[in-house]
Structure 1
Amino acid sequence: MKVYISQLTETENIIDLLEKYDIGLEIVLFASPYCLDKQDEFIDIYKEELGDLYNKIEIGIHGPYADLCTGTRDNLISQVTNHRMQQAYDVAKKMDANYVVYHNGYYPKTYSYEEWLTRTPNYWKNFLKDKKNDKIKIHIENVHEDESYVINALMDEIYDEKTSACLDIGHVNAYSKIDVEEWIQSLGNYMKHMHIHNNYGDKDSHLAINKGDINIMEMLNKLKDKDITIALEINDVDELRESLDILYKNGFIKLREVVKNNI
């Protein structure tokens, strides 16, 4: 199990965590269309901010999601969606990232399951057809779904070694009528990435792993031998530090080995 932290604050606030722990960085900046349009400029900024760490840490990219719809019946919206998704994939290639996370984008009561599942698998098959031969993984994330059926049915159509599901447990706790354990069992081997954060079931709060309704450590202990990656999506930097300390003390992460040149 490889651990990443999702960057929800300025790099200067988390640089010491990246230096201390052997963890990866899931970059959220390129979820913004503005940053996608100026991607080369922002990639250069990242290289400068991370310095020597840039080539030492593993990187993931969180793709765009606002106003995008992979299951749309509108061809023009599909074109915009594809353009933004492709931009994020281009960023991942330029930054030598291991993966890109994209939202599934299904909103209950807007499209029927049947219509969504008629359109969405074809969208992803078309998007992926020229991307099979590189190392970048694609993880498709649940958000507002109230049960796992839609993303499971999508994975039935498109799952392979490159393309899998990202289970966001905070989204499940806030929006789903099914509990996290049932989602994990339902997705099974389709799940290769997870977003880890906690809440009290009332809203998507992005709290520390030890604050909220989900017993995250119990869940992670059951999954520790599974071939997955996880990213901590925790808003407050102090809570992120506390969560990493818990993971370190429980053996999920190690200290980063810093190799210094002999003088």
Structure 2
Amino acid sequence: MKFYISQMVETEKILPILRKYDVGVEVVQFANPYVLDHRYEIMDEYKRELKELYNNVDLIIHGPYADLCPGSRDNEIKRVTKLRMEQAFEVANSLGAKKILYHNGYMPNTYSNVEWKENAYNYWKEFIKSKNNMPIVIENVLDETYDLIEDLMKRVDDENFNVCIDIGHANVCSHISVDEWMDKLDFKLNHIHLHNNYGDKDSHFGINKGNMDIIKILHKLNEKKYDDLTISLEVADLNELVESLDILVKEKFIKLKEER
């Protein structure tokens, strides 16, 4: 398992973390439509901000999601969705990212499951054509069950098209346990968003602040011996992020760079 930190603050603030811990970065800036509109200059700026760490730390790109809907019945909505996702894919290639992540985009009670499954399948089957150079992972957000993502993965059936389980989202939005989510999507599990909450809202707390036993979850994942599983700590507070990393070092999931 390779660990990353999801970048929720300015690059300058995470540089000490990247120099201390053996982790990569999940870059979220390019999920912003303004940033995508100015992606060339902002990519150059981001490389400068990373300083000596650029090309020396692994990157994952978090793709755009606001107002986008890959399962839409509206061709104009799908056109803009594809435009933004293509722009992010271009960024991921340019920055040498290891993979790119997109939201499933399902809004409960807005589509029947039958219509969503068909629309989403058609969208992603077309989108991934000629994109065999980088893994694409699809993340649950408001999904109440794993059914839609499971169906999508089985129907698309592409080795570069896989699942990201956001355990915090599952804990808040779904009545199904995180363990069951992992078991049912095990056949396509490629990435995890790791953060904690109390099941009431998407708090993005550190791993020791909530009602989930994160260490137990990580041990279960470790027992599976995935070849290429990546895990991003999506912790909003910088102090809680550092505390979480220290816990993971103590539990021997992460190493300090000086220990490698």
The two structures have a TM-score, normalised by structure 1, of: 0.95
Q: Which residue of structure 2 lines up, in the alignment, with residue 25 of structure 1? A: 25
Q: How many residues align?
A: 257
- Take 1:12 and 1:51, find their aligned partners in 2: how far apart are those partners? 10
Q: Which residue of structure 2 lines up, in the alignment, with residue 53 of structure 1? A: 53
Superposed, 1:91-102 pairs within 5 Å as: 91-102=91-102
Q: Which moved further from structure 2: 250-259 or 155-164?
A: 250-259
Amino acid at match of 1:162: N
- Take 2:187 and 2:255, find their aligned partners in 1: how far apart are those partners? 26
- Take 1:257 and 1:94, find their aligned partners in 2: how far apart are those partners? 29
- DSSP 3-state at the match of 2:246: helix
- Take 1:258 and 1:109, find their aligned partners in 2: how far apart are those partners? 50
Q: Which residue of structure 1 lines up, in the alignment, with residue 185 of structure 2? A: 187
Superposed, 1:23-102 pairs within 5 Å as: 23-102=23-102
Aligned: 1:162 with 2:163:
no
CA shift for structure 1 position 42: 1.1
Unaligned 5+ runs, structure 2: none
CA shift for structure 1 position 159: 3.4
Aligned: 1:105 with 2:105:
yes
CA shift for structure 1 position 91: 0.2
- Take 1:159 and 1:37, find their aligned partners in 2: how far apart are those partners? 32
Superposed, 1:132-151 pairs within 5 Å as: 132=132, 134=133, 136-151=134-149
- DSSP 3-state at the match of 1:55: coil
- DSSP 3-state at the match of 1:146: coil
Residue 198 of structure 1, aligned match among 184, 196, 200? 196
Q: Does the 8 Å contact 1:143/1:172 carry over to 2?
A: yes
Q: Does the 8 Å contact 1:165/1:190 carry over to 2?
A: yes
Q: Does the 8 Å contact 1:104/1:143 carry over to 2?
A: yes
The 1:159–1:21 alpha-carbon spacing in structure 2 relative to 1, beyond 3 Å, is farther
CA shift for structure 1 position 234: 0.2
- DSSP 3-state at the match of 2:191: strand
The two structures have a TM-score, normalised by structure 2, of: 0.96
CA shift for structure 1 position 255: 1.7
Map Cα deviations across residues 70-125 of structure 1 (whole Å, 9 max, x no partner). 01111111100000000000000000001111000011100010000111111111
CA shift for structure 1 position 258: 10
- Take 2:75 and 2:148, find their aligned partners in 1: how far apart are those partners? 22
Q: Which moved further from structure 2: 77-86 or 249-258?
A: 249-258
Map Cα deviations across residues 168-196 of structure 1 (whole Å, 9 max, x no partner). 00000111011101111111121110100
CA shift for structure 1 position 249: 1.1
- DSSP 3-state at the match of 1:147: coil
- Take 1:120 and 1:200, find their aligned partners in 2: how far apart are those partners? 31
Q: Which residue of structure 2 lines up, in the alignment, with residue 219 of structure 1? A: 217
Amino acid at match of 1:240: L
CA RMSD of aligned residues (A): 1.3
Superposed, 1:2-17 pairs within 5 Å as: 2-17=2-17
Unaligned 5+ runs, structure 1: none
What is the identity percentage for the equivalent residue pairs of Structure 1 and Structure 2? 53
Q: Which residue of structure 2 lines up, in the alignment, with residue 124 of structure 1? A: 124
- Take 1:22 and 1:137, find their aligned partners in 2: how far apart are those partners? 22
CA shift for structure 1 position 11: 1.0
- Take 2:235 and 2:174, find their aligned partners in 1: how far apart are those partners? 20
Q: Which moved further from structure 2: 175-184 or 248-257?
A: 248-257
The 1:181–1:49 alpha-carbon spacing in structure 2 relative to 1, beyond 3 Å, is same
- Take 1:59 and 1:35, find their aligned partners in 2: how far apart are those partners? 17
* Off by >3 Å, runs of 4+ in structure 1: none
Q: Does the 8 Å contact 1:159/1:190 carry over to 2?
A: no
Amino acid at match of 1:251: K
The 1:84–1:109 alpha-carbon spacing in structure 2 relative to 1, beyond 3 Å, is same
- Take 1:245 and 1:45, find their aligned partners in 2: how far apart are those partners? 30
- Take 1:252 and 1:7, find their aligned partners in 2: how far apart are those partners? 20
Amino acid at match of 1:209: I
- Take 1:253 and 1:86, find their aligned partners in 2: how far apart are those partners? 33
- Take 1:203 and 1:159, find their aligned partners in 2: how far apart are those partners? 33
Amino acid at match of 2:240: E
Q: Which residue of structure 2 lines up, in the alignment, with residue 248 of structure 1? A: 249
